[in-house]
Amino acid sequence: MDDWSPERVADRMQIHEVLYRYCRAIDRIAVAQLEAEVFHSDALIDKTGSPVPLADWMAEVARRHPTVPRASHMVTNPIVDFTGVDTAFVESWCLASERHPHEGGATDRVFRVRYGDKFERRDGRWKIASRTFVMDHVISMPLDPVLDPPAGQRLDGRRDADDPIMRLRAGLPVR
């Protein structure tokens, strides 16, 4: 199949959508959506050189992420290389910004990572069968209170279903 046939363009768009849904699921700490929309249930996740089953990694996300009150993941530059009719290797870049509270204030951290994802289409759906995280760079800086307006002067993002955008989405008809 030609990599730029209409079918392959549709495959690429579906793969990109999975990457974007990953960002939303991580940012909202919607762990169940990671398996429902992003990863195959038997996926392996490698952050250290020793892959772990998806369930173990999701348990770590569920444990660690609630301690981070603000997070934003943005996936960019996905390069899709089809390795078969129903398989692809996807390299993408991610910027993740996280707020880490501590006594006396908070620290904002920006992580620059790359994902090496093996995608598989099973039962007509593209999902990640294995992911390798590569950490390229971390920036850490104390929160500047002058640049952080007080509550009430903005809509604050949340990492759960009470997030303003998630509340808007909840009222939409799904087709």
pLDDT at 32: 96
Pick from 118, 84, 112: which is nearest to 15 by CA? 118
pLDDT at 104: 85
**Domains of the chain with CATH codes:** 6-146 (3.10.450.50)
Residues 6+ apart with CB under 8 A from 28: 159, 160, 161, 163, 166
The pTM (predicted TM-score) of the whole model is 0.92
Per-position DSSP letters for 34-60, written without gaps between them: IIIIIEEEEEEEESSSS-EEHHHHHHH
Instruction: Indicate the residue type of 148.
Output: D
Instruction: Reply yes or no on whether the pLDDT at 145 is more than 80.
Output: no
Query: Which pLDDT tens digit goes with each residue over 105-130?
Result: 899 999 999 999 999 999 999 999 99
